[in-house]
Amino acid sequence: MIAPVTVTLLALTAVGTAAAGELRATVRNVKPNQGKVMVALFDSVEAEMAKRPRAGYFAAALGAEVQVVFPDLPAGHYGLIAFQDLDNNGEMATGLFGIPAEPHGFSRSARGSFGPPGFDDYAVAVGASGITTTEIRLVE
C-alpha cells in the first residue's frame, strides 16, 4: 500500500491571529497514479456560489488516499469540495446536463439527491483551536 500524501497549506489569514483551528481531510477512493487531486476550501455558501475558495490544494494522485491539512483557520464553518482531475486539464470534466464525469466529493462525505449537497450539508465546524477532521469520499 502506498502511504498517503500529506500537504500543509499556508493560511490565508491575517498575521497575528491569536487563536486558530486546523481542518484535516482524508480524501478516499483516489485512483492511484491518475492525474491530480484538487481540493477547494470554502468559508460560506456565498463564496461557493461565486467560486471563490478561501484556499486550494492540488497534488499528484500517488495513492488511494490523500491527506490534506488546512492550518490557522479562524473559528467558523468550512466546506471542502474535491475532485480528481484525471485528464490534467485543471477543470472538472462534465457530461450531459453538467453531471461530473470525474471522481468528486464533499467534506463529511456528503451527497446530494438530484444535484450537489448544499453548503450546510457538507460544512464542518472548526473551533478557535484544536484539530477538526473530516472525510471526502470520491464518487463517480
Q: CB-based contacts of 49: which residues, under 8 Å, 6+ apart?
A: none
3, 14, 17 from 81: Cα distances, Å: 22, 24, 26
pLDDT in tens, 52-74: 999 999 989 999 999 999 999 99
Q: CB-based contacts of 94: which residues, under 8 Å, 6+ apart?
A: 100, 101
pLDDT in tens, 78-126: 999 999 999 999 999 998 888 899 999 999 999 988 889 999 999 999 9
Helix (H) or strand (E) holding 120: helix 119-122
Give the integer Cα–Cα distance in Å for 134 and 126.
11
pTM of the model: 0.84
Q: Which of 99, 81, 75, 102 is nearest to 91 (CA)?
A: 102
Q: Which of 12, 59, 69 is nearest to 36 (CA)?
A: 59
